[in-house]
Amino acid sequence: MSWPSNYPDSPDDDKTLTETRSAASSPSGLLKDFKVGFTLAIKNILSFGLAMVGILVVTILLLLAILLFIAIPLLFTLGIPFIITLIETISTGFTGSTGLTLVLLIMFLVLPILGPFFIALGSLFGMAREIVESDGTLAESAFSWYGKRGLSLLGGGVLHVMITLAPLIVAFLAISYPTWNPPTNTELRIIITLIVIWIILVNGMLSLTFPGIIDGLSVFRAAGRSVKLTCKFPGRVLGAWFIIVLLTGVLILPIINELTILWMPFIPQRILEMYRPIAIVALLFIIIPAVSIILTRIYMILTAKVDATYTQDNGGE
């Protein structure tokens, strides 16, 4: 038994919805993501700036706390001679060991140091979520996300690193086991190309992990959702990611000392020196916030499209 609708929808409603959906996945949608991302990042530069400074301080304090947490008990229980021996062992490990030992040693040292930075980066995605969803945020919000989603964000960062480094580790182990067997120059060129493609592609596919964690998903579900969304909307996710990589690359390549020789013929040294601090400030206070806003926006739109709750308001605000 059905009941007549006493407030019938316009016959064009479904058509309009389909049109707005297709519009959202078109290149203009991508352009809008960047336009909105940079506009909102600049509009909220003060909040982001203060949050970045605050988070940096907290991150450094957290790193110190981690070091102290490890160092002090070691110092009291095992004594200074043991610490010296440990440092010597680690140094020997770097020079003497090959293969799995070296990989584990690097992971053991690198991951705890990177941990606080992952949480800090994730907190920016929390701020971005507030901006994209409610058109504003406060610097203190970053700390709120830092506290509430800290562990998940840490897990997200570790997962990113592990997946990114996995083939590199396998390649390294293959080269170093059973004996060190360095690749030829041609092989090296192929390996480096494949590694660069892998790093860009896999990080693109996982680029929506942090927005997913901020949305309340667990690390693995967020990563899974990111990959699924990329497979469903490759143009929107990977397109945005490639533009982000390109923009960041163009901005930071000239400030890398080792590559100065590439820029010398085109950019005078004096301008290059002036450019460096500007590029770092732009990267920290505009590009990174804009990227977090862009990715959050894409995540929210694409998940809404998947859940069939997406509409586009064509009227004025």
Partner 1 sequence: MNPKLSKKAIKEFEVVTNIKVIKLLLDGTRKDIVFKYLVNKPMTVKQLSVAMNKKPGTVLHHVQKLKSVGIIVLVETRETPRGIVERYYRAIAREFRLGISERMSAYDESTVPPKDRVNATLLGLSTLGVVITESEFKHARTILQKLIDRETEMSLVYNTPKNHAYQRLPQSTRRDVSQRMLQFLLSQDEVHQKILSEWNGIIAYYLKKTSSELA
Taking Cα atoms as reference points, which of 252, 251, 250, 243 lies closest to residue 295? 243
Among 19, 88, 133, 187, binds partner 1 (CB under 8 A): 133
55 binds partner 1, rule: CB under 8 A: no
Among 138, 201, 202, 247, binds partner 1 (CB under 8 A): 138
Among 44, 59, 123, 137, binds partner 1 (CB under 8 A): 137
Q: How far, in Å, are 57, 132, 199, 315 from residue 112 at the CA level?
A: 17, 31, 21, 49
CB of 32 to partner 1, least distance (A): 6
Binding segment for partner 1 (CB under 8 A), chosen from 51-59, 106-114, 137-145, 165-173, is 137-145
Q: Which residue has the tokens 């992971």?
A: 107
Binding segment for partner 1 (CB under 8 A), chosen from 66-74, 138-146, 154-162, 182-190, is 138-146
CB of 72 to partner 1, least distance (A): 35
258 binds partner 1, rule: CB under 8 A: no
Question: Contact, 210 vs 226, CB < 8 A?
Answer: no
Calculate helix-pair angle for 141-148, 45-78, nearest 10 degrees.
40
Residue (13 or 187) nearer to partner 1, CB: 13
What is the spatial distance between Cα 166 and Cα 172, in angstroms, rounded to a whole number? 10
Residue 4 CB partners (closer than 8 Å, separation 6+): none
230 binds partner 1, rule: CB under 8 A: no
The interface with partner 1 within residues 147-166 (CB under 8 A) comprises 148
Task: Give the angle 44-48-50 at the CA atoms, nearest 5°.
Answer: 120
CB of 36 to partner 1, least distance (A): 3
For residue 266 the two structure tokens come to 């085109």
Q: How far, in Å, are 54, 62, 129, 230, 310 from residue 307 at the CA level?
A: 36, 39, 18, 15, 8
Q: What is the dihedral of CA 134, 138, 139, 141, to 10 degrees?
A: -60
310 binds partner 1, rule: CB under 8 A: yes
Sketch the per residue contact string, 33 through 52, with partner 1: x for CB under 8 A, - otherwise: --xx--xx------------
What is the spatial distance between Cα 210 and Cα 91, in angstroms, rounded to a whole number? 35
Binding segment for partner 1 (CB under 8 A), chosen from 78-86, 116-124, 141-149, 159-167, is 141-149
CB of 153 to partner 1, least distance (A): 15
The interface with partner 1 within residues 71-130 (CB under 8 A) comprises 126, 129-130
Q: What 3-state class would DSSP assign to 309? A: coil
Question: Contact, 182 vs 266, CB < 8 A?
Answer: no
317 binds partner 1, rule: CB under 8 A: yes
Residue (148 or 189) nearer to partner 1, CB: 148
Residue (223 or 302) nearer to partner 1, CB: 302
Among 128, 165, 279, 301, binds partner 1 (CB under 8 A): 301
Q: How many residues does the chain have?
A: 317
Question: Contact, 197 vs 180, CB < 8 A?
Answer: no
CB of 69 to partner 1, least distance (A): 28
The interface with partner 1 within residues 188-217 (CB under 8 A) comprises 215-216
Residues at the site binding partner 1, with contacts judged by CB under 8 A: 1-3, 5-9, 13, 24, 32, 35-36, 39-40, 126, 129-130, 132-138, 141, 144, 148, 215-216, 297, 300-301, 303-304, 307-317
